[in-house]
């Protein structure tokens, strides 16, 4: 896939050193009284990646690592503090201004209970992007298209007349997917699309998403905290920690040879069916606050390989065979 990108094909999405900071200062008066400065939360702090067309890039990490912020940045729901996002070679802010370009990207959200308007019938929910982009004008044509979309995600065209509350969580997520597909997008950003679902329903949705990708040639940015899920859907995987990518590698390579100590710790921590009765070695400590991250490598307080250099110097992403890793220990061969 890297080769394909290098051979001149424009990636679907390219992020160049993107960052998003949030001002989380107290109100002015309180700040003056307490003599405090402004406080900035660096939710995303310098991320670069690209997603070749027709492939899936997944971002994984624990809560607060900034993965959902990235999802919102690449579809333009947040503006970047720094860096650029290129959508099919075009700057995202320009692409967002053009409704044809905008209709090529869609998003699926985590909570199928909150992302569907409870007062709208399913047919109107699914038809909203069609109407908003003016893709079809004729009422009958819109209805037919909605029926087709509902069938595509495994629902019945008759379900269009129902309201969201009449559906289970898995069915609602199917409705979200039908809505996302209604503007014929090429790029879908999926922010934890299955984490609110039961495992048997999750399997249905993951199978459906893979089928749709093959059938429609979709490109996915998949955000998840679940490494096992990510392994099933990804071509490449980026591991995030405190607003930065620590490792970016082809999916199989990441699981066969995790390089960054954090990636290894994450994999070690996952309870797996095959580990019945096995004693695990948990990662010590917790994710530090992103408002006052530790100096140097932000993982150093929890890292078994940390040394003096890690405490002062911020590691940058460097190639390590087929992967990119931001770790002094890996670079020096201490890993």
Partner 1 sequence: MSLLQVKNLRVEFPTRRGTLVALDDVSFEIAPGEVLGVVGESGAGKSMTGAAIIGLLEPPGRIASGQVLLEGRRIDNLPYEKMRRIRGREIGAIFQDPLTTLNPLYTIGRQLVETITTHLPVGPGEAREKAIGWLELVGIPAARERIDSYPHEFSGGMRQRVVIALALCAEPKLIVADEPTTALDVSIQAQVIAMLKTLAREKGTAMMLVTHDMGVIAETADRVAVMYAGRISEIGPVRELVRHARHPYSQGLMGSIPPLDRRVERLTQIDGAMPRLSAIPRGCAFNPRCPKVFDRCLVERPELLDAGTTRASCWLYAEGGAA
Note the residues at the interface with partner 1 (CB under 8 A).
Answer: 62-63, 168-171, 198-204, 206-207, 210, 225-229, 231-232, 251-252, 255, 265-280, 282-284, 286-287
C-beta of 250: minimal distance to partner 1 in Å?
12
Report in angstroms how near the CB of residue 61 gets to partner 1 at its nearest. 9
Element (H, E) at 132: helix 122-132
Closer Cβ to partner 1, 83 or 250, answer by number: 250
Tell me the closest approach of the beta carbon of residue 137 to partner 1, in angstroms.
36
Spatial distance between the Cα atoms of 24 and 127, rounded to a whole number of angstroms = 38
Q: Which is nearer to partner 1, 250 or 335 (CB)?
A: 250
- In the sheet that holds 236-241, the strands lie side by side as 105-108, 187-191, 219-224, 56-60, 236-241, 244-250, 323-325, 318-320
CB of 58 to partner 1, least distance (A): 12
Whole-angstrom Cα distance, residue 72 to residue 277? 40
DSSP 206-245: HHHHHHHHHHHT-EEEEEES-HHHHHHH-SEEEEEETTEE
- Residue 124: strand, helix, or coil: helix
Burial class (CB in 10 A: 0-12, 13-18, 19+), 112: buried
Choose between 132 and 228: whose C-beta lies nearer to partner 1: 228
| Residue 57 or 75 with smaller CB distance to partner 1 | 57
Inter-residue contact 213 to 180 (CB < 8 Å): no
CA distance 197 to 203: 9
Q: Cα–Cα distances in Å, from 253 out to 207, 239, 256, 263, 272?
A: 22, 13, 5, 12, 19
Enter the DSSP assignment of 73: H
Q: How far is the CB of 83 from partner 1 (least distance, A)?
A: 27
Length reported for the chain: 335
Nearer to partner 1 by C-beta: 143 or 208?
A: 208
Identity of the residue, 92 or 266, whose beta carbon is nearer to partner 1 in the bound complex: 266
Nearer to partner 1, 93 or 207 (CB): 207
Shortest Cβ 306–partner 1 spacing (Å) = 16
């Amino acid at each position: 896939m890297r080769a394909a990108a290098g051979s001149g094909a424009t990636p679907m999405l390219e992020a160049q050193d993107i960052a998003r900071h949030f001002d989380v200062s107290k109100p002015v008066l309180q700040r003056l009284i307490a003599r405090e400065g402004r406080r900035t939360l660096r939710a995303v702090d310098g991320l670069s990646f690209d997603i070749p067309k027709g492939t899936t890039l997944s971002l994984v990490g624990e809560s607060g690592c900034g993965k959902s912020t990235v999802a919102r940045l690449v579809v333009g729901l947040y503006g970047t503090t720094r860096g650029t996002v290129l959508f099919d070679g075009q700057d995202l802010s320009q692409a967002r201004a053009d409704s044809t370009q905008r209709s090529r990207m869609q998003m699926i959200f985590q909570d199928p209970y909150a992302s569907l308007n409870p007062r709208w019938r399913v047919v109107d929910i699914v038809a909203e992007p069609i109407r908003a982009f003016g893709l079809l004008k004729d009422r009958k044509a819109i209805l037919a298209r909605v029926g087709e979309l509902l069938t595509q995600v495994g629902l019945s065209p008759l379900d269009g007349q129902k309201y969201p509350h009449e559906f289970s969580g898995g069915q609602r997520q199917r409705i979200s997917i039908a809505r996302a597909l209604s503007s014929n997008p090429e790029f879908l950003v999926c922010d934890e699309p299955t984490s609110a679902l039961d495992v048997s329903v999750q399997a249905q949705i993951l199978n459906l998403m893979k089928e749709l990708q093959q059938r429609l040639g979709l490109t996915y940015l998949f955000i998840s905290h679940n490494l096992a899920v990510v392994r099933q859907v990804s071509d490449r995987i980026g591991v995030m920690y405190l607003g930065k990518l620590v490792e970016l590698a082809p999916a199989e390579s990441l699981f066969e040879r995790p390089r960054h100590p954090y990636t290894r710790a994450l994999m070690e921590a996952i309870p797996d069916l095959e580990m019945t009765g096995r004693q695990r070695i948990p990662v010590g400590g917790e994710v530090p606050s992103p408002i006052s991250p530790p100096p140097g490598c932000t993982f150093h307080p929890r890292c078994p390989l940390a040394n003096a250099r890690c405490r002062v110097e911020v590691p940058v992403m460097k190639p390590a065979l087929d992967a990119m890793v931001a770790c002094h220990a890996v670079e020096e061969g201490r890993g």
